[in-house]
Amino acid sequence: MRPSSTDTAPYVARVEKIEADNKSNIKVRVRWYYRPEESMGGRRQFHGAKELFLSDHYDVQSAHTIEGKCIVHSFKNYTKLENVAPEDYYCRFEYKASTGGFTPDRVAVYCKCEMPYNPDDLMVQCDGCKDWYHPACVDMSIEDAKKLDHFMCADCSSEDNIKKPERTFPASPLANGKVRYILTNFTSLRLDYAMFLIPLTACSLG
Ligand SMILES: [Zn+2]
Ligand SMILES: [Zn+2]
């Protein structure tokens, strides 16, 4: 939908209902998607450029404000896209505008930096522990990481009796079992991600 100024990215909303008033003006009832920078916690490093949150904020707008159609993918489907078009977005969280809360309330994290997956960033999987790593976090350039067929993190390569790996990388961390989680209450998450780690046994992600 058309933003108020031309240098702003378009607003994204889900159309819930289309109706005409008694003067035949077409109105749409919409449910807004929020961009990370519009949420209370702001944009964070793991938020992708095309990430949106489905909010609980509804509105009625003139149908004239609609600029075009876009597609909001599930996170999993988005990571499988071969090419991301300008109209492709994804949503992995619902967002409560009044409290800044997210649903689901936890998210898987990867790498030494304990970060949720940002689909814009390349990650490599360790053949040993199966965790995923940002090349920068393991002192590797992105160019080198792209050329890799196999990768062993420092912890795993220091252990001698690792079984021979069977396969190369799946496409993304989502293809892998979920490992560790943090609470998605990012507004209180300023200092230390590790403080919010939850034991695996306590987790079930819908
Ligand atoms: Zn990292
Ligand atoms: Zn490893």
Q: From the CA of 126, which ligand is nearest?
A: 2
Cα–Cα distance for residue pair 26/18, rounded to 1 Å? 7
In order of their start, the domains of the chain are 12-103 (2.30.30.490), 107-202 (3.30.40.10)
Average pLDDT, the chain: 83
> What local confidence, expressed as pLDDT, does residue 202 receive?
41
> What local confidence, expressed as pLDDT, does residue 198 receive?
42
> What local confidence, expressed as pLDDT, does residue 172 receive?
73
Q: Give residue 16 CA to ligand 2 midpoint distance, Å.
A: 46
Q: Give residue 34 CA to ligand 1 midpoint distance, Å.
A: 26
Q: What digits encode the pLDDT tens for the residues 58-111?
A: 999 999 999 999 999 999 999 999 999 999 999 999 999 999 999 998 999 999
Residues, Cβ < 5 Å to ion ligand 1: 111, 113, 134, 137
> What local confidence, expressed as pLDDT, does residue 160 receive?
54
Q: Give residue 143 CA to ligand 2 midpoint distance, Å.
A: 20
Q: Give residue 21 CA to ligand 1 midpoint distance, Å.
A: 53
Nearest to 12 by CA among 89, 74, 84, 77: 89
Under 8 Å between Cβ of 151 and 123: no
Q: Give residue 95 CA to ligand 2 midpoint distance, Å.
A: 34
Q: What digits encode the pLDDT tens for the residues 160-201?
A: 545 555 555 566 777 665 467 777 765 444 444 433 444 444
Q: Give residue 128 CA to ligand 2 midpoint distance, Å.
A: 5
Q: Give residue 143 CA to ligand 1 midpoint distance, Å.
A: 16
Q: What digits encode the pLDDT tens for the residues 29-40?
A: 999 999 999 999
Cβ-based neighbour number of residue 85 at 10 Å: 10
Q: From the CA of 131, which ligand is nearest?
A: 2
Cβ-based neighbour number of residue 134 at 10 Å: 20
Q: What digits encode the pLDDT tens for the residues 99-135?
A: 999 999 899 999 999 999 999 999 999 999 999 999 9
